[in-house]
Chain A
């Protein structure tokens, strides 16, 4: 091994490198997931069925401007409340998030991260950021493309109204992505088996939809127990569509806050208590 003594000196912990360390985890997860055939297949089929068709039809059907109804209305051209979109999103989240934390729990690869200058928060930020980078390909960018295509092919002159809808769609895209990733990451942190996590994510959404539907006959607020209904109602609020008088918007706000932030807190506690702070 005739090589010169290494000239390199160790990194001294400059703050400018902090984001790079988180970015490294994000980038690693993105590259790993994009190698997965299952994820690529779901992405391609899903983009084609749930996004390409609405975008093409939206462009071909004569329209004056981009309206909230086109995004979340109940007519046939409603884009965001499309069942296919939700099914493919859940499938994608199940695949992307299933091994996000569970694999590290199983392999004890927390040590890989925490024996480096990485804090629990950085680790989670990197993991969640990595998942967001994939899921947003399906739940953020296509929404923007849809809006831009509709605006580009509109026959009317009211561009300000259309751009306002575009702005609201950006918020909806961010909300949808974080909503699913947060939930999926929490489920992944609860088990060491990625199969359990994947099935858990997929099934929990459907079980909650069924439970919500059963109890809705007694009180419509029970429909909020379904994360998908909760997400749809929050779309209505963002686009300024009037909710049913039987629904309590305060409960929607509280539940939405809980379903996004509680999973993040639970995930942090799981990682911190189980593997770091033992």
Chain B
């Protein structure tokens, strides 16, 4: 039981009449754990409770065996990367890291060395002196992750780190997250509303739905359920007609439809893992410019409904 990193017992949090978490019961051990649930399911509330920025209404949450509420010392062992972008456009990446490093008590040479280390880890060393306002979505995520690991925390909490990123950035961020765990030894809890993204990082997941942890365990069991349902993916960008044609030739594609004046395509696939494996190569091959790619929650919702009704 020593490797339990997060433990919640009947944890509940509600905002007025809106339920954030409801009798949430979960144990998260070392390694990478994926927290999967549709938007509004309570993932961000869970993270805010974990970093002590929210107080539970009932129940308890233990992070590394300690209660995080008003426990600022514990924050030295936790690194948090929020889902929203709170970076100032006018500051450079280096200034941002100097601020967060300083907030952890790092100074002078140790801070400078650590900034060099983390910027190398996240692949941002060359971009450090640029203003954050000029960063791409992927760069912003990377610098946020650098800020969350600057104090070398035992536990890393990443709230939707892949949201809004294009397929290539997603792939490199997934590699980075795996590297942080496998090579640097950080225990990581990463949230997403797309199961297939989590699957590329870990086999351990917890499903969260309407404020409850409804299942946890090996991803393969969940996948079997998901594969019974078609998976819908939206792709936004230019030159996507070619991509649509190519996708139709693939065996895993059930249908492709244009929406919003041919600026978007909705792809329905039977084998999402194969789709996600191939899509980056296809985009490169066709030289398409993809602005966004995201999965719709439909099929995951169906699995959640199935699990809840069971």
Contact = CB atoms under 8 A, between A and B. Distances in A.
Interface string A106-143: 01111111111111000000000000000000000000
A112 B86 contact: yes
A11 B151 contact: yes
B75 A117 contact: yes
Interface stretch (B77-85, B242-250, B272-280): B77-85
Interface string B99-126: 1101111110010011001001101000
B261 interface: no
B64 to A, nearest CB: 12
B219 interface: no
A24 B108 CA distance: 11
Contacts of A3: 117, 120-121
Contacts of B73: 13, 117
A140 B250 CA distance: 72
B76 A278 contact: no
Nearest to B54: A278
B90 A35 contact: yes
Contact of B52 (A8, A17, A21, A114): A114
Contacts of B95: 28, 31
B110 to A, nearest CB: 8
A32 B76 contact: no
Interface in A258-278: 275-278
B90 A32 contact: yes
A275 B82 CA distance: 15
Contact of A32 (B91, B114, B152, B183): B91
A14 interface: yes
Interface in A197-233: none
Contacts of A276: 53
Interface in A6-62: 6, 8-14, 17-18, 20-21, 23-25, 27-28, 31-32, 35
Contacts of A277: 55
B80 A17 contact: no
B104 A8 contact: no
A114 B51 contact: yes
Nearest to B55: A277
A111 B51 contact: yes
B86 A17 contact: no
Contact of A9 (B103, B104, B120, B152): B152
Interface residues on B, range: 35 or more
B1 interface: no
Contacts of A20: 102, 105, 107
Nearest to B186: A6
A116 B82 CA distance: 13
Contact of B86 (A5, A18, A35, A108): A108
A13 B66 CA distance: 15
Interface in B31-78: 48, 51-55, 72-73, 75-78
A1 interface: yes
A116 B103 contact: yes
A8 B113 CA distance: 9
Nearest to A23: B102
A140 B95 CA distance: 28
Contacts of A110: 53
A209 B82 CA distance: 44
B184 interface: yes
Contacts of B110: 8
Interface in B106-155: 106-107, 110, 113-114, 117, 120-121, 123, 151-154
A116 B104 contact: yes
A11 B99 contact: no
Contacts of B154: 10
B15 interface: yes
B294 interface: no
Contact of B104 (A6, A25, A114, A117): A117
A6 to B, nearest CB: 6
A1 B123 CA distance: 8
A137 to B, nearest CB: 20
B258 interface: no
Which one of B48, B105, B123 has the highest number of Cβ atoms from chain A below 10 Å of its Cβ? B105
A114 B84 CA distance: 15
Which one of B95, B106, B154, B185 has the highest number of Cβ atoms from chain A below 10 Å of its Cβ? B106
A10 B103 contact: no
Contacts of A28: 95, 98-99, 102
A278 B55 contact: yes
Contacts of B77: 10
B184 A111 contact: no
Interface of B: 15, 48, 51-55, 72-73, 75-78, 80, 82, 84, 86, 88, 90-91, 95, 98-100, 102-107, 110, 113-114, 117, 120-121, 123, 151-154, 179, 183-185
When A and B form their complex, which 7 residue pairs have the shortest distance between CB atoms, in order from nearest? A24-B102, A17-B105, A109-B86, A115-B80, A116-B103, A115-B51, A11-B105
7 contacts: A8-B117, A24-B102, A28-B95, A32-B90, A110-B53, A111-B82, A275-B53
Given A8-B114, A117-B103, 10 more contacts: A1-B121, A3-B121, A10-B152, A108-B86, A109-B86, A111-B53, A111-B80, A112-B100, A276-B53, A277-B55
